[in-house]
Amino acid sequence: MQKSLSEIIALTGGRLHGDGTLLIRDAASLEEAAEGDIAFCAGTGFLKAIGSTAASAVIVPESAVKVLDARSIDTAAPALVIVDNPYLAFAKILTLFRPAVKPSAGIHARAEISDGAVLGKGVYIGPFVYVEDGAVIDDGVTLHASVVIGKNARIGADSTLYAGVVVREECIIGKRVIIHCNAVIGSDGFGFVKDGERYVKIPQVGRVVLGDDVEIGASVTIDRATLGETVIKRGTKLDNLVQVAHNVTIGEDVVLAAQTGIAGSTSIGESSQFGGQVGVGSHIKIGPHTSIGAKSGISRDLPGGAVYSGIPVMPHGKWLRAQALYSRLPELKKRLEVLEKSLHELEKNNNKNPCAQDPLKEEK
């Protein structure tokens, strides 16, 4: 496939510095690009690499244009696709040149489908897939090898479940959902009550509901509700190894990075962003448009529209100031010890000579 730069501009928006008839055959990094490739420059820090890349064209942000103008763009340099959001433009170009490969519709001979399951049109079901009684697989769904769909579960149209995914009984998956390898949707919530010295299991009889356009990373676990629903709303993206406990509600367009853990009955507002390894306690409410720094620990409700970091979590600016002091603690400890010693000597001398405490007494 080849596309002219004019066609790429039409796809991505923005403007062109260079020859619109130039043909592009693929996308690549600045370092690995060859003639005929288009590369990606995320910010002004990468501009030096433009001069040495073999790419025929480079996507750059508007913020880089003034810097490039100041250096005067060489006529022999690669053509520039100038956009507001280079990440978004590059994603569109990658999708154009490297479209997802979807297997042809059909059911593998080694798949096992219950007679009571309902299959839509154009589905692909790979080897060793098991679909239980009452499950509904809507049109265009792709189930790769060894996927298990539990009793009365539903998989929405055009969703893709990669190898080893388990969707347990009664759970609902929306349209165009992507679930990566070995994720488990609807495992039992962690609910136990003590009877003397022993733990008794609390039955977990709820379900998980994933909205449309949700993406779930590899080895993510999302627990079913004790009663009711664990809900992840439209457009939310979970990175690998995320744990979502029973009865959690996650709003639309939330992003959770790897190894984040959300305890039971917590709610997270829409358009929030969590860094990796964030831990959230149970029964906590986090407002919309909240950003949490990596490795933070959240043990209280947080209003929306702010940035937090730290253990325990605090406003990000305050956390940065605390971190700046942290590396200086040994030095500050030594200074404090010197000050304490000086103060002790001063008090000792004052006690030996009471008049030294009041200069007027010495004059008398």
- Do 226 and 247 meet the contact criterion of CB atoms below 8 Å apart? yes
What is the identity of the amino acid at 194? Answer: K
148-152, 335-339, 341-345, 346-350 — most confident range: 148-152
Q: Where are the domains of the chain?
A: 3-97, 106-319, 329-363
Q: What is the pLDDT of residue 355?
A: 59
Over residues 105-116, mean pLDDT: 97
* 356, pLDDT greater than 70: no
Which of 159, 169, 165 is CA-nearest to residue 182?
165
The beta-carbon contacts of 25-32 under 8 Å, at least 24 apart in sequence, are 25/1, 25/97, 26/97, 27/90, 27/93, 27/94, 27/97, 27/98, 28/55, 30/55, 30/58
Q: Give the homologous superfamily in CATH for domain 3-97.
A: MurE/MurF, N-terminal domain (3.40.1390.10)
Return mean pLDDT, the chain.
91
Task: Compute the distance between CA of residue 296 and CA of residue 262 in angstroms, rounded to an integer.
Answer: 12
- Do 208 and 185 meet the contact criterion of CB atoms below 8 Å apart? yes
The C-alpha torsion from 171 through 176 and 182 to 185, rounded to 10°, is -20
Q: What is the pLDDT of residues 287-334, one digit of tens each?
A: 999 999 999 999 999 999 999 999 999 999 998 888 888 888 889 889
Which of 171, 130, 139, 138 is CA-nearest to residue 153?
171
* 363, pLDDT greater than 60: no
Which of the four pLDDT bands, split at 50, 70 and 90, describes residue 109? very high
Q: What percent of the chain has pLDDT over 90?
A: 74
Q: Does residue 345 or residue 73 have the better pLDDT? A: 345
Burial tier of 225 (Cβ tally within 10 Å: 0-12, 13-18, 19+): buried
Over residues 115-119, mean pLDDT: 97
Which of 143, 175, 24 is CA-nearest to residue 90?
24
Q: What is the pLDDT of residue 151?
A: 98
Over residues 266-279, mean pLDDT: 98
Q: Does residue 348 or residue 144 have the better pLDDT? A: 144
Q: What is the pLDDT of residue 266?
A: 98
For residue 187, give both structure tokens.
């495992």
* 68, pLDDT greater than 70: no
Known catalytic residues? 246
Put residue 270 in one of left, alpha, beta given phi > 0 → left and psi -120 to 50 → alpha: beta
pTM (2 d.p.): 0.86
CATH no., domain 106-319: 2.160.10.10
- Do 204 and 246 meet the contact criterion of CB atoms below 8 Å apart? yes
Rounded to the nearest 5 percent, the helix, strand and coil shares of the chain are 20, 30, 50
Tokens 């971190």 belong to residue: 323
For residue 1, give both structure tokens.
């496939």
